[in-house]
């Protein structure tokens, strides 16, 4: 799959959650947990499939953040895509 950054679902997902986290004071813990998983998957897609080299580097760097590393380990422990 080839990502057409920024006109792709990954960009929409990242923008959605960044806006929600910064501006929606009613987000539940469950919603924040889903946001972390959704962001992990979107960043992974960008890091591996995006045509834009700068976006790939940025996403790869973001995936190294401690919260994303924890989320990846949790997601894998729960079975990933199984």
Domain ranges, ordered by start, for the chain = 9-77
Per-residue pLDDT of 17-44, as tens digits, reads 999 989 999 989 899 889 999 999 999 9
Q: Would you place residue 66 in the very low, low, confident or very high pLDDT band (cuts 50, 70, 90)?
A: confident
> What pLDDT score does 48 carry?
92
- pLDDT of residue 12 exceeding 90, the answer is yes
Phi/psi class of residue 28: alpha, beta or left (left: φ > 0; alpha: ψ in -120 to 50)?
beta
The answer to whether the beta carbons of residues 46 and 56 sit under 8 Å apart is yes
Tokens of 63: 């995936």
At residue 3, φ and ψ (nearest 5 deg) are -85, 130
């Amino acid at each position: 799959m080839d990502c057409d950054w920024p006109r792709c679902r990954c960009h929409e997902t990242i923008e959605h959650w960044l806006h929600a986290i910064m501006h929606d004071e009613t987000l539940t813990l469950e919603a924040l947990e889903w946001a972390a998983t959704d962001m992990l998957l979107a960043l992974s897609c960008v890091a591996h499939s995006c045509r834009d080299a700068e976006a790939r580097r940025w996403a790869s760097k973001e995936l190294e953040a401690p919260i994303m590393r924890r989320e990846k380990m949790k997601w894998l422990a729960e079975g990933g895509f199984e």
